Amino acid sequence: MPSIMPIFGTRPEAIKMAPIVAALHESELFDCVVTVTGQHREMLDQVNELFGIVPDHDLDILQQRQSLSAIMTRTIDGLDKLFAQKKPDAVIVQGDTTTSTAGAIAAFYHGIPVVHVEAGLRSGDLFSPFPEEANRKITSQIASLHLAPTSVSRDNLLAEGIKPEDIVVTGNTVIDALLTTVGKKIPFTDPQLENLAAGGRKILLVTTHRRENQGDAMRGVGRALARIADAEPDLVIVLPVHKNPAVREAVLPALEGKLNVLVTEPLAYGEFTRLLSHAHVVLTDSGGVQEEAPSLGKPVLVMRDNTERPEAVDAGTVTLIGTDEERIFKEVDRLLHDQDHFDSMAQAVNPYGDGRAAHRTVAAITQLLGLGLRVADFTV
Ligand code: UD1
Ligand code: UDP
């Protein structure tokens, strides 16, 4: 039985890999050997616990305030030793984290085919998001199978000379994860969130973590949130704050003492998606949240100047607003007080998937290994 090794290390990779791990186990065609790098720790373990994933191998590489080079070298070193013992028939990497690209490079050096999930996203700016745009381009150079979530990402790959027969459009597995989780109404651990979900107050759900926003830009985000909190006493701002100390140091000081700002630890995925379903407006620099919120009909303001996810911008449910303090304040204010504008953005659209991306992923791997036929691409 061929052995397939999904490799992941951060929260979003785990969320997006979980449906694939489940589908690999169900297919009974493969031995699925899960390897985590531990680039994240608490935030990774939280996801694995929810989806019942017990890693076969854990490189446990996390260091506080880790450098990109440390993530890269510690991952490649750990995988080099593991591949020498285990020799998987293919590895699966997801997205554009440093775990993902290091996994692809280590596998490539061992002559192991690389399956790249969420392939072909491009912002067009090598430095934004940093280092993700470079990571994803590097992985595209060495992958054997490119699983593009949408036709836009497939076209990006074709434009870079990737052969059409090596690309399958699967949809994004984040929608599989969302659809299997959001309906479960998982109880909130924090009673304040349970009260919020039961009550009628509008929720502004905020997440921020991007490396290129850390420092001054993120301090400005904190100040903008403080101004919104003062101007809108009936609104509740919920900020499940990333574990990264650099994020906490930048965004939290301005929010101290604000009674309508609820800062929480990172929420378990089931709790986060439930909160998302109760949110009025979402303000974020996250990739995954940009994909999930439109599916639930939530207007999303993205605190970035560009995006590799243009589909929901084109559909009108996502607006790119950058990180300027005044602009953030004004865009939130407009969504809260201009009903026509809110209604135009609060449309449920599903450009990123139909919940069957993991099934298409496993079918594509089956074809790669000569065990099955190509499946039809995902279309909207
Ligand atoms: C990483 C990814 C980014 C992804 C993000 C998702 C890279 C370069 N960056 O960024 O693409 O969007 O994850 O959240 O791959 N920390 C903990 N515990 C955790 C997680 C993080 O303590 O569970 C702290 C550590 O101090 C760590 C720091 O956060 O050094 C930063 O983590 P890191 O993975 O380097 O970067 P992220 O900004 O999380
Ligand atoms: N998420 C979560 N708990 C939180 C915040 C986010 O489970 O407190 C989920 C969210 O639903 C999405 C993913 O984490 O699926 C996004 O992760 P993140 O923003 O860290 O990374 P990105 O998607 O930007 O790479």
Q: Is the CB of 285 under 6 A from ligand 1?
A: no
Q: How far apart are CA 174 and CA 180, in angstroms?
A: 10
Query: Does 242 qualify as catalytic in the annotation?
Result: yes
Q: What is the pLDDT of the chain when averaged over all its residues?
A: 97
- Per-residue pLDDT band at 15 (split at 50, 70, 90): very high
Of all residues in the chain, the percent with pLDDT exceeding 90 is 98
* Mean pLDDT, residues 35-45 taken together: 98
Our CA dihedral for 76, 41, 358, 373, rounded to 10 degrees, sits at: 20
Q: Which helix (H) or strand (E) holds 263?
A: strand 261-264
In this structure, the residue with its CA closest to atom 26 of ligand 1 is: 64
Q: What is the pLDDT of residue 98?
A: 98
- Cβ neighbours, 10 Å, residue 232: 17
pLDDT tens digit string along 204-250?
999 999 999 999 999 999 999 999 999 999 999 999 999 999 999 99
Q: What single-letter DSSP state applies at residue 44?
A: H
pLDDT reading at 59 higher than 90: yes
| CATH homologous superfamily of 186-346 | Glycogen Phosphorylase B; (3.40.50.2000)
pLDDT reading at 374 higher than 90: no
Q: Is the CB of 292 under 6 A from ligand 2?
A: yes
* Mean pLDDT, residues 314-327 taken together: 97
Q: What is the pLDDT of residue 200?
A: 86
Q: Is the CB of 240 under 6 A from ligand 2?
A: yes
Q: Is the CB of 19 under 6 A from ligand 2?
A: no
For 339, the 3-state DSSP assignment is helix
- Per-residue pLDDT band at 317 (split at 50, 70, 90): very high
pLDDT tens digit string along 121-170?
999 999 999 999 999 999 999 999 999 999 999 999 999 999 999 999 99
Beta bridge pairs of residue 322: none
Q: How far apart are CA 220 and CA 238, in angstroms?
A: 17
* Mean pLDDT, residues 82-108 taken together: 98
Ligand nearest to the CA of residue 193, numbered in listed order? 2
- Cβ neighbours, 10 Å, residue 18: 27
pLDDT reading at 188 higher than 90: yes
Location of each CATH 3.40.50.2000 domain in the chain? 3-172+353-368, 186-346
What is the Å distance from ligand 1's center to 10 Cα?
A: 7
Q: What is the pLDDT of residue 335?
A: 98
What is the Å distance from ligand 2's center to 15 Cα?
A: 8
- Per-residue pLDDT band at 302 (split at 50, 70, 90): very high
Q: How far apart are CA 241 and CA 248, in angstroms?
A: 7
Contact 270, 186 (CB under 8 A): yes
The class (CATH top level) of 3-172+353-368 is alpha beta
Q: What is the pLDDT of residue 257?
A: 97
Main-chain dihedrals φ then ψ at residue 145, nearest 5 degrees: -135, 125
